[in-house]
Structure 1
């Protein structure tokens, strides 16, 4: 994958990071839940459930015993992108069984053009097609003569060995520039730096599509950022940046437990569009699920996430990995 790295930060105001290339909103739902107890990271396997109970939801205090607030300072973002590393990608876009081919022809009223692998010529074209079918993708910086013409004239390829019921594959050729500027930009800024019992601090996280094509970003519940936890850099402590999660997605709080459904969605971002979400940094004395949302102490905190995105559904993906850091100063 083509890897680019950037470190950028603005003290106490804004920060942003850019992601590499990779369309409505499509979603799939898994009603399994992950239970998150205070101070415990979410399970990596969505089907697992933790029944550990957090300490009581009681107000926390700063280390000197004075339950006051903080200031948000020194906001900074770093990013790394894994994107396309070749100009051309030949990928499987559809799979059919023999019966499905017949049904598709009946549905469309058109006879599909089917060719076996052995019939594909010349050899470099056959090798590209076979590699794409057997591994899912074929990548190169130049195209063998005749590949475009072959793809234009064939709907489905067959005659390859497979243990799957799908015996026919449709292929699509994608073209991209590995050195093109990143399309998706992650941003963060401080909206309110003061964290007090009467007025929480506020941050804004955003994703901006700065490219010319629609981007589909994979996300979980409450897209695109999910439940945003920030962890202390020097300890195992962490807390939840707050917004009305229960009203927006499959997230619920029961006693000292937080339950999150394993939901996958694709969020569409049009060219030039920004998707932004605001989050509150609550005070140590908050009564809003304090075992999860109350900052445990001053210090440096960070949020890390990886966003998979693509310019076209089924096209080559890119991964944008971001880290947001800020200080909570007493």
Structure 2
């Protein structure tokens, strides 16, 4: 079954893959690849095996950074603040939601071949390729599941018909479903999703440096943590795993936003990193606008580990795009975004949506 071996090989390299794209205006262009090196990282969490509802997935308590998250002192009490501090960052709050499959099993088409292409595979490979017309499948429920998957893109259920798993594992290509199309041979893949288990990827945020001064910007940290006993990859835009973060005043007309829409330029600012330097050529500046490659990139997160990014709140004295990076004033700010991930190569995807809110208080 050479096709399955090929798909497995492709899946194993997914964490380092990127889809080709071109430079587009970047309303929110994404951030950078790999794990951030912090000067003084403090991590919490222990690796513990926990049996899940069906015993098929091992979870753990991932290592995550420790930062101030909520109150950093009484309102108006800034005895420890540097004399030249402009703002203090307070009360970081996060919220998350997950858009994921609602059924335990998903059957999807995963390969589309013509008859000639299958014959070339047979000639070039040593493994047997099993082709079966759908009419030759004895079980009517199995036939209908495969037909639904091919014709609609997916078949979903919480229980499997008898022999469906065996049929999918035994047969490489099904014919007789896509007649009239260029491709006549369709391969299908069965995915089992742990719908009753907690999410595999967790999100968090906190304050790494709470005071904004001319010599020391305030710093907000965001992280993604892998709560599985296996490496997983998250999918995002050109500079992963987060977007170019542009918080907006929560009580302004723009509401929350990730930089693509909402919030006028006088209501938001950029949380700064050196996006251009970290983008590997996929993020830049042109004619006064940010541009980015329109691509998808995956970032691997090791089992029970996390990926951290720190973003600076620049002072009014900065020379780094001050019209865009200096906060418009004190207030409650929010920024939102999303990342995707899958429990298995080519499997159903999960979208994690997050919102980070924090207060900038004048010192």
Quickly name the TM-score band, shorter chain normalised.
0.7 to 0.9
Contact kept, 8 Å, 1:213 with 1:311, in 2: the verdict is no
Gaps of 5+ in 1: 1-22, 43-66
How far the C-alpha of 1:163 sits from its partner, in A, is: 5.9
Give the one of 173, 189, 201 matched to 1:184.
201
Contact kept, 8 Å, 2:98 with 2:350, in 1: the verdict is yes
Contact kept, 8 Å, 2:242 with 2:338, in 1: the verdict is no
Query: What does residue 260 of structure 1 align with?
Result: 292
How far the C-alpha of 1:203 sits from its partner, in A, is: 1.2
How far the C-alpha of 1:253 sits from its partner, in A, is: 2.7
| 3-state SS in 1 of match to 2:298 | strand
1:242 aligns with 2:283: no
How far the C-alpha of 1:123 sits from its partner, in A, is: 0.5
Q: 1:178 to 1:35 in 2, by over 3 A?
A: closer
Structure 1 stretch displaced more, 93-102 or 70-79: 93-102
Q: 1:24 to 1:177 in 2, by over 3 A?
A: closer
1:141 aligns with 2:166: no
Q: 1:192 to 1:163 in 2, by over 3 A?
A: farther
Q: State the TM-score, normalized to the length of structure 2.
A: 0.73
Give the one of 211, 236, 250 matched to 1:194.
211
Query: What does residue 212 of structure 1 align with?
Result: 229
Q: Distance in 1 between matches of 2:171 and 2:308?
A: 43
Query: What does residue 60 of structure 2 align with?
Result: none
| 3-state SS in 1 of match to 2:148 | helix
Give the one of 199, 202, 222 matched to 2:239.
222
Give the one of 121, 125, 128 matched to 1:104.
121
RMSD over equivalenced CA pairs, Å: 1.9
1:287 aligns with 2:319: yes
Q: Distance in 1 between matches of 2:301 and 2:111?
A: 24
Contact kept, 8 Å, 2:243 with 2:337, in 1: the verdict is no
How far the C-alpha of 1:264 sits from its partner, in A, is: 1.4
Contact kept, 8 Å, 1:256 with 1:291, in 2: the verdict is no
Q: Deviations over 1:213-258 (max 9, x none)?
A: 3322111122111311111112231111111111111222346322
**Alignment length (residue pairs):** 280
Q: State the TM-score, normalized to the length of structure 1.
A: 0.80
Query: What does residue 22 of structure 2 align with?
Result: 31
